[in-house]
């Protein structure tokens, strides 16, 4: 397994809506993420800066890298684009984070 972490930016005032949408994550998207080899995926909010911090484990980098091309992933991004900073294709602007410590 490979660990990956990144940060994204939530628009101010959108934390409750972000949580609501993720609490009701589409079952088919949940399955796509699992089928893509994603495990232990968590997203955390820094309430002062509105930054989202995500951490996950992946089985296979190529399956993970293929997710942006999947139509369901693109639909989710379009659905979320009104409450977070995104690229023109609605993919979230995400900044990779460098792992500095890990305790297993």
CA distances from 87 to 35, 37, 38, 94 (A): 25, 25, 23, 9
Closest CA to 17 of 79, 59, 61: 79
Do 65 and 17 meet the contact criterion of CB atoms below 8 Å apart?
no
Give me the active site residues, please: 22
Q: Are 66 and 79 in contact (CB under 8 A)?
A: no
Instruction: Judge whether 64 and 3 are in contact, CB under 8 Å.
Output: no
């Amino acid at each position: 397994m490979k660990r990956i972490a990144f940060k994204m930016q939530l628009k101010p005032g959108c934390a409750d809506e972000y949580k609501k949408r993720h609490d009701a994550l589409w079952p088919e998207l949940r399955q796509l993420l699992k089928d893509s080899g994603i495990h232990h995926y968590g997203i955390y909010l820094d309430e002062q800066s509105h930054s989202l911090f995500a951490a996950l484990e992946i089985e296979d980098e190529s399956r993970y890298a293929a997710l942006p091309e999947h139509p369901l992933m693109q639909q989710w991004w379009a659905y979320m684009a009104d409450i977070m900073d995104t690229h023109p294709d609605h993919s979230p602007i995400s900044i990779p984070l460098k792992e500095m410590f890990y305790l297993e």
